[in-house]
Structure 1
């Protein structure tokens, strides 16, 4: 009996090998960035390389399936393995791109847009030239094709109040020193390291706190500043969060500011109990400023003295004895 040669495709094992390499590159880049072993530029470049390798593995797998369907022969398990590895390798790059599209956020966000709190220790974005160029190219050329409008810095700043309506300054009916202590306790509860501090000299003196925070997924570092100033109500709190890289994560600067407010509320609730006595609404402040409480209660009539005043004159008679008065003639 004559036996024919079995067709064997070389694309299937090549797909499996390329897929495993792409998955290894993507996983290594992800873990290295999470633990701070590489910077954002190397991370993005590694993900791009992993994505290219993964696409090559998927292309070889589809070619192998086509050849096996046409000519038969082994190779289906290897092609399936290459497909799975390629899809897994595309996961981290797709996640990063999805975050860039679905979660547009400001790199520098503050509750006071006019006069934001000062950040002393800054990491300049120019230290990551490739990522800065890549992010600028996305905002200028790629995303406008999907949204239909260019999003420059001024337009993004104009949309900021509508997108972050809850990112506003807060007032508390406590002294600045008490709010400073609550802010320090809140940063400690968030596991953020305080790198700069202006402690209060007096109970109503202005203070500030600066801490280094990190995102949960990629460990991206963010500078968070708390500025506390005296206010007619008690203390005014402004929070600013600035990313050290254009790369975004699942948690952005808006979420960092919300986390600070929530943690401060938790600390104040544990310390003072009734939080409604401490937090002050903007409308309440305007009413108090427009209608100040009087120092004394208003009177319906003009007050009169309780005695009749008497003025002694030089020509008035002087009493000669203890039984006489100056009114007797």
Structure 2
């Protein structure tokens, strides 16, 4: 009996091979960026290449399924493996691009939006032309479109303000020098490196701290500045967090500021034991600064409500305005 050749599709093995290459590139780029072996541009370009290869692998797998359905033959397992590798390779680029699109302007946040704390060293990475170009294109083309798809601009503004409602200056009932020590201890506990400091020369003098940290997953560097100034109730703390690249990790700059506040509160709690006695809310501040009227505790002699009258006519006041009591 004559045997016919079994049809074999070439798309299935191609899909498996390209999918494996795409996954390898994505994982290598992620690990290299986490340990600081590549800069932001190389990382983004590597993920872009991995995403393109992953899409090619998925398309080849779909073509293989169609050919196998029409002509039969082996290759289903290879096409499935190529699809699985391609989907996995698309995850890191999707997360990075998603954070860029969903967090416009979130690379520099401060509690004082009018006069933010100063960052001495401008260490924003300059060797990332591709990422800078991509950010500009997102600002021009993608972010306006995403904003237009929202329900209304007012609701979007309310959501943004609600998400950053706690990113405000904080007041403490301690001297600026004491708060400076607590801030330095908090940065040390967070394993952030202090790169600039203005220590207090007096207990009530203004101070500042600047630290450098890295995010947990991608190892992205960011700068945090703490500014401490004298205030009516003690000390006023402002915090600023700025990323050195437009890339966003799962921990945002707003999250870094919240982390600083929480760690300072923990240090103050361990040091003084009563955090409610030290921190001051805005409502409490208005009550404290309202002047109280203090009544004079001295006794006051009451004044008579009428002019005393004496019955002696000689002591009464003369009718003539020019006359005097000395006239005989």
TM range, smaller chain: 0.7 to 0.9
Match of 1:225 in 2: 225
Match of 1:299 in 2: 297
User: Alignment length, in residue pairs?
Assistant: 297
Gaps of 5+ in 1: 151-155, 304-329
Contact conserved, 1:117 with 1:225, CA < 8 A, in 2? yes
For residues 232-259 of structure 1, the C-alpha deviation after alignment (integer angstroms, 9 at most, x for no partner) is 2011101000110111111111000000
Given the superposition, is the C-alpha separation of residues 293 and 208 from structure 1 closer, same or farther in structure 2, using an over 3 Å criterion?
A: farther
Counterparts of 1:37-186 in structure 2, within 5 Å, are 37-104=37-104, 106-148=106-148, 161-186=161-186
Counterparts of 1:269-288 in structure 2, within 5 Å, are 269-288=269-288
For residues 36-61 of structure 1, the C-alpha deviation after alignment (integer angstroms, 9 at most, x for no partner) is 11111111111110000000001111
CA RMSD of aligned residues (A): 2.2
Please state how far the C-alpha of 1:146 moved relative to its aligned partner: 2.9
Given the superposition, is the C-alpha separation of residues 292 and 168 from structure 1 closer, same or farther in structure 2, using an over 3 Å criterion?
A: farther
For residues 198-233 of structure 1, the C-alpha deviation after alignment (integer angstroms, 9 at most, x for no partner) is 111111111111000221121111100011111120
* Structure 1 range deviating more: 251-260 or 35-44: 35-44
Instruction: State whether structure 2 residue 249 is matched by structure 1 residue 254.
Output: no
Please state how far the C-alpha of 1:300 moved relative to its aligned partner: 5.9
- Distance in structure 2 (CA, Å) of the matches to 1:273 and 1:162: 31
Instruction: State whether structure 2 residue 38 is matched by structure 1 residue 11.
Output: no
- Distance in structure 1 (CA, Å) of the matches to 2:276 and 2:79: 63
Contact conserved, 1:105 with 1:253, CA < 8 A, in 2? no
Please state how far the C-alpha of 1:90 moved relative to its aligned partner: 0.5
Q: If the length of structure 2 is used for normalisation, what is the TM-score?
A: 0.85
Please state how far the C-alpha of 1:98 moved relative to its aligned partner: 2.3
- Distance in structure 1 (CA, Å) of the matches to 2:243 and 2:157: 16
Contact conserved, 1:125 with 1:246, CA < 8 A, in 2? no
SS in structure 2 at match of 1:127: coil
Match of 2:202 in 1: 202
Contact conserved, 2:211 with 2:224, CA < 8 A, in 1? yes
Please state how far the C-alpha of 1:147 moved relative to its aligned partner: 2.5
For residues 143-186 of structure 1, the C-alpha deviation after alignment (integer angstroms, 9 at most, x for no partner) is 32233179xxxxx9999655411100000011111111110111
Gaps of 5+ in 2: 151-155, 302-328
Match of 2:26 in 1: 26
Contact conserved, 2:101 with 2:142, CA < 8 A, in 1? no
- Distance in structure 1 (CA, Å) of the matches to 2:187 and 2:53: 42
Match of 2:212 in 1: 212
Given the superposition, is the C-alpha separation of residues 39 and 292 from structure 1 closer, same or farther in structure 2, using an over 3 Å criterion?
A: farther
Please state how far the C-alpha of 1:68 moved relative to its aligned partner: 0.8
Please state how far the C-alpha of 1:126 moved relative to its aligned partner: 4.0
SS in structure 2 at match of 1:100: helix
Please state how far the C-alpha of 1:301 moved relative to its aligned partner: 3.5
- Distance in structure 2 (CA, Å) of the matches to 1:141 and 1:271: 51
